[in-house]
Amino acid sequence: MAADSNRFGSSCPARLTSEPLEAVQHLKVSIDNPETSTNDSLDFERCSALHNAIARHTWQAQGYDLADLPTTTWWQKPDYAPRLEELQEHLPESLIEFLKRALSPAAEELPDSSRYYFFYLCDGLASPDSLWHEVGEPEGEMGGIERIALYLTDTLTSDETLDAIVYDYDAHWCVFNSYPYFVFEDDDSSPIWQRLETILTAWIVMIERRKVAVMHKDLGKGPDPASGVCLDMKEPWGWASWTRADLEDALEAWNDLIGAINDRLPEPRPDPLSRSSLFEVDDLRAAEIEEGSFAWEFYTKACKPYFQFLGPGLQPASREQLLSRPFRSVWESQNPRPDLGSPEIFPLPILLGSQLANSWVDSYQYEVGPVAWGLYLDILHSRTLSCPYEDATRLIGQNPFETNRATTQLWQMLKNFTAHVDSEEWRVDANGVSEPATVFDNFFVHGTEPDSDEAANVRYAMLKNMYL
């Protein structure tokens, strides 16, 4: 769906609430409400309540009465009965208790025959026959590594790749995985393991932020007036490439970063923001930036600071840097992926340094370089692809800091910067952040050090992006 500056209903709040989701607010993971599952046991009461809240919200948001929602749990499905005794011999009691409580209606109980997705990123709880697919022994036999595919995406994509929430039932950790099963044993590429309540919390937060939305049955393919999303292949879900909450949080994080730096200036200003936006409308049109896109809205609403540096060696991109469009030029001259067509949105600069990065390697494996190093809004090949993000960022430098797969939402990256300023790890002088660009040689996501009290919440924040 093309961006539209008026796509959000004027009377619709940026964040969604519903009766099922309100009922589990006290169970969502946060710094003040940490994970409660342990290496010895899954908190099955908490996790089943979060799971069932998503199921109930999905049902109600389609326009059905909650009283009519089928109450069949995973454990009660008739087709699974022949395997239950066998499963009880292999799975821990706390996981079995979760499966006894988790709603999982059978297809024949649903109002139509269309495929029903539990969540945009997830088909639903795996069947007994799929639990050990490519997770334990290569042949899928029980008695191998103590991991199962607890939730599946729409397909098991190949004999070597598993798209699923993989659950380690020996220590009760799980991960959103779309990689070959053997990466779990690779120290260099192992994914970030979470507690199940953290993943379920992340999905609820995505619903509340309208990043994903359930389409009401009377709206057909959409668009949904509140979120702007249209029905995707994953009925009844749709995905928003950006939301009002994303924009509001990015602007707030931008202002907070500027405020944190201003407070540490030798002579702080009472108002650290100028009245000038990052770019003028004429500049955005000259750069062929789509009106109503996330970039357009952020560039026209974020104000310039009076000082120079918002990060080590990083300052707001100039008009000349915006208009240079090196990525578009390379794409048009090299046409590295003719099968994809031209991207809808090319990388756009936010904060840039004076040095040149060795190269930018796109997630589709085309290379651009050298380019000014710094923080960019990432490329978006198509808003119709699965999980498009217009507010995704990539921090590019000599390292180049981030992997080809992983990106971070702009508001989270800016909050990360602010955390370094607040902790005084980044010093400030009259020009702003005074640290040299070399600090990025060892750049880390603030709060993810092993001994940090914030580690669990940072895992939760990262998971909200679902870039894993």
Q: How many domains are there within the chain? A: 2
Do both 457 and 355 map to the same domain? yes
Do both 193 and 253 map to the same domain? no
pLDDT, residue 367, reads 67
Do both 445 and 349 map to the same domain? yes
Residue 1 lies in a domain: no
Residues 6 or more apart whose Cβ sits within 8 Å of residue 236: 58, 61, 62, 116, 117, 214, 215, 217
Do both 156 and 280 map to the same domain? no
Residue 135 lies in a domain: yes
Classify the C-alpha dihedral 239-243-245-247 as positive or negative: positive
Do both 198 and 141 map to the same domain? yes
pLDDT by residue for the chain (468 residues), tens digit each? 334 434 444 445 667 789 999 999 999 999 899 999 999 999 999 999 999 999 999 999 989 999 999 999 999 999 999 999 999 998 999 999 999 999 998 878 877 745 578 888 788 999 998 887 655 443 444 445 688 889 987 554 444 455 678 899 999 998 877 654 444 554 444 567 889 999 999 999 989 988 888 888 887 776 777 666 666 667 788 888 888 889 999 999 999 999 999 999 999 998 888 889 999 999 999 999 999 899 999 999 999 999 999 999 999 999 999 998 777 776 666 665 666 666 677 889 999 988 777 666 665 556 666 778 889 998 776 666 666 789 989 888 754 444 444 578 899 999 999 999 999 999 999 999 999 887 776 654 333 333 333 333 333 343 333 322
The 3-state DSSP class for residue 327 equals: helix
Do both 201 and 277 map to the same domain? no
Backbone angles phi, psi at 138, to 5 degrees: -55, -30
| Domain range enclosing 181 | 19-208
pLDDT, residue 16, reads 78
Residue 450 lies in a domain: yes
Write down the pTM of the prediction: 0.78
**104-to-78, 100, 123, 215 alpha-carbon distances in Å:** 12, 10, 11, 20
Residue 224 identity (one-letter amino acid): D
Residue with tokens 């340094």: 353
pLDDT, residue 216, reads 84
- Distance CA(390)–CA(401), nearest Å, equals 20
Residue 315 lies in a domain: yes
Question: pLDDT (tens digit, 9 = 90+) per residue, 233-250?
Answer: 677 888 888 888 899 999
Question: pLDDT (tens digit, 9 = 90+) per residue, 316-352?
Answer: 999 999 998 777 776 666 665 666 666 677 889 999 9
Calculate the CA 46 to chain-centre distance: 22
Do both 180 and 273 map to the same domain? no
The tokens for 460 are 């939760």
Do both 158 and 74 map to the same domain? yes
Q: Which of 181, 208, 235 is the last residue of a domain?
A: 208
